[in-house]
Amino acid sequence: MSLQTLNKIQEALASRPAELEKARAEGKKVAGWLNYNVPEELIYAAGLIPVHLGNGGDNRLVETGGRYISMMNCVFTRQITGQFAEGTDAYIKNTDAVFIDVTCKQLYRVYELINYYFKLKTEIIGVPYNFQTAAGKQYFRKETAAFAAKLEKISGKKITAESLKYAVDVYTAIRAAIRALYRIQAGQETPITWHEVYDVVQAAYYLDKDVYLRLLQELLAEIETAPVNPKVSPDAPRILVSGSVIPPGDRKVLDLAEESGGRVVIDDLWSGFAPYLDTDVKETSVEGIADAYIERHPHGSLPVLDIEQDKRLKDIKQLIKDYKADGVLFHTLRYCDCFTFKAAETKSVLKELNIPFLEIHTEYAKSDIEAIRTRLEAFVESLKSRRKIASGFIGAGI
């Protein structure tokens, strides 16, 4: 039986576009955003409604977008461009301004395209690629301050100390709740699956943040007394998913992983757990928010030349340990160079730790489903055999 709160979240999502329309009719403005490092708290503190844009999994939209961008850009950027071209997406229709941070520069190009072809009010926030240097951090502080000023101009309201504190508190509480949910779903026996949690995380793309936080707290309370979900097999090999974005609408590889008998228990996807893993606003100020974003689990688009300084890789290793993952599924989209080019090294680093690794390189088209299924089944089987060999390994959750 499905958890009641999950149904409530679905209902809230269903009525959200109409709510946004109403809010806009009443003079409120919606700030749509794309990429990874848009400090959402500031949108909220400025009295705007934040909506995280961008879907996946629809090859028709990919083709539409490909007419503007090119067939040699990742399917996600192609689909977003297609969504803007069509203009029928409920959230895009209800967006007054679009903000894109320059973490992945293919998305920066999307910003240029939607500005030119679809005449949308679009702004960018620079993200330093030398992000670990003092100069890079300072640059991001300045960019964040400029972003805050643009928000104030759009909303016609100042970001006050109170509104900022309120926003930071709400977002901090949301992050804490998501972390708690992730811990629960990863238990050997659990009332909620990772897949369900992943959907909950992506509900945050759209829902009002107060409503969302309340629903998260309700969900956590309901889970405390909920029965174990019998569909979650405690014996299934535990998988960490990493790599390119898996946005709302795209469940191709995730479904196949589960159909093949694997159990995803953790991810570091930027459309999933990554923004919740360790974002920590230590000081309630614009600078404090900038620092929290630039110091958190980094997006794969930000290159790091010294492996010892690679926090992303360190975090993956830690997550494998904490979540007792048996293997890593590395999902890469074609033409997503920042993740694709990391695959070989990640594989060899994990090999040294005796962690099996499988890269699935794909797009949204369905033509490779059977080939992926075969590879995933073989991978899951190999994880099972390893488990048998290392008998007595399975721990009691985390």
Partner 1 sequence: MSVQTLIKTEAINRFYYPEEIKEDFLKTPGLHFTDGSYVDSAQIWDFMTVEGPRRFPYAYNKERNNQSRMSRDVRFFSGIKYGYLNLTLRDRLIKAHENGIPIVHVEGGQTVDPYFAAGAIPIVPGPLRAMARDAKEGLDIKDANRRAMKIMEDGRQAISIECCNNPIGSIEAIHQSAVPVDMVAPYLCLRCTDYSYILEAYRTKLKNTMLHFVDFPVTRDGEWTVTYMAELIRDLVKKLGGLRGASVREEDLWKEIKRENRGRRLARETMEAIWNAEEIPVTGSDIFSIITSGRFDRGDSLACLEYLEQAHEEVIQRVKNGVRAAGIPEKPVRILTVGSCFGFWFDFAEEKGAVLVGTDDHLSKIYADVGEEGDPYEEIAKTILAYDYELPTEQRAQYIIDLVKKTRADGVICGYNWGCNYQSAVSRMIADIVKKESGVPTINLQVAELGFLDGNEQTQNRVEAFIEMLS
Q: Are 150 and 23 in contact (CB under 8 A)?
A: no
CA distance readout (Å), 2 to 5, 196, 374? 9, 10, 30
Q: Residue 51 CB, nearest distance to partner 1 (Å)? A: 23
Contact with partner 1 (CB under 8 A): which of 64, 106, 190, 260?
106
Nearer to partner 1 among residue 190 and residue 244 (C-beta):
244
Hey, what's the torsion of the CAs at 170, 175, 177, 178, to 10 degrees? 140
Q: How many residues bind partner 1 (CB under 8 A)?
A: 49
Q: Are 364 and 251 in contact (CB under 8 A)?
A: no
Q: How many residues bind ligand SF4 (CB under 6 A)?
A: 13
Contact with ligand SF4 (CB under 6 A): which of 301, 310, 350, 359?
301
Q: Are 263 and 237 in contact (CB under 8 A)?
A: yes
Q: Are 187 and 224 in contact (CB under 8 A)?
A: no
User: Residue 257 touches which of ligand SF4, partner 1, none (CB < 5 to 8 A by kind)?
Assistant: none
* Interface segment toward ligand SF4; rule CB under 6 A; list 73-81, 158-166, 197-205, 342-350: 73-81
- Which residue from 291, 299, 285, 296 is spatially nearest to 148, judged by alpha carbons? 285
Please give the residues from 138 up to 167 whose contact with partner 1 meets the rule CB under 8 A.
138-139, 142-143, 146
Instruction: Find the largest Cα–Cα distance for the chain.
Output: 64
Contact with partner 1 (CB under 8 A): which of 121, 345, 353, 390?
345
Q: Are 31 and 99 in contact (CB under 8 A)?
A: yes
Interface map 77-96 toward partner 1 (x if CB under 8 A): x-------------------
Q: Are 155 and 46 in contact (CB under 8 A)?
A: yes
CA distance readout (Å), 208 to 30, 51, 57, 323, 378? 11, 9, 25, 30, 42
Q: Does 130 participate in binding partner 1 (rule CB under 8 A)? A: yes
Partners of 31 in the β-ladder: 50, 97
Please give the residues from 107 up to 166 whose contact with ligand SF4 meets the rule CB under 6 A.
107
Q: Does 365 participate in binding partner 1 (rule CB under 8 A)? A: no
Q: Does 338 participate in binding ligand SF4 (rule CB under 6 A)? A: yes
Nearer to partner 1 among residue 129 and residue 166 (C-beta):
129
CB neighbour list of residue 264: distance below 8 Å, 6 or more residues apart: 194, 195, 198, 239, 240, 241, 254, 257, 258, 329
Please give the residues from 306 up to 335 whose contact with ligand SF4 meets the rule CB under 6 A.
333
Nearer to partner 1 among residue 40 and residue 143 (C-beta):
143
Q: Are 269 and 243 in contact (CB under 8 A)?
A: yes
Nearer to ligand SF4 among residue 49 and residue 74 (C-beta):
74
User: Residue 245 touches which of partner 1, ligand SF4, none (CB < 5 to 8 A by kind)?
Assistant: ligand SF4
Q: Does 307 participate in binding partner 1 (rule CB under 8 A)? A: yes
CA distance 136 to 154: 27
Q: Does 336 participate in binding ligand SF4 (rule CB under 6 A)? A: yes
Q: Does 136 participate in binding partner 1 (rule CB under 8 A)? A: yes
- Backbone dihedral region for residue 249 (phi beyond 0: left; psi -120 to 50: alpha; all else: beta): left
CA distance readout (Å), 227 to 2, 99, 220, 222, 394? 10, 42, 13, 10, 21
Interface map 227-256 toward ligand SF4 (x if CB under 6 A): -----------------xx-----------
Q: Residue 266 CB, nearest distance to partner 1 (Å)? A: 24
CA distance 259 to 377: 9
Nearer to ligand SF4 among residue 264 and residue 333 (C-beta):
333
CA distance readout (Å), 106 to 69, 287, 338, 387? 10, 27, 10, 40
CA distance 18 to 94: 9
3-state secondary structure of 367: coil
* Interface segment toward partner 1; rule CB under 8 A; list 6-14, 30-38, 108-116, 177-185: 108-116
Contact with partner 1 (CB under 8 A): which of 206, 335, 364, 379?
335
Contact with ligand SF4 (CB under 6 A): which of 9, 48, 61, 74?
74
Binding site for partner 1 (CB under 8 A): 67-74, 77, 102, 105-106, 108-110, 112-113, 115-117, 124-126, 128-130, 133, 135-136, 138-139, 142-143, 146, 303-307, 334-335, 337-338, 340-345
Binding site for ligand SF4 (CB under 6 A): 74, 76-77, 104, 106-107, 244-245, 301, 333, 336, 338-339
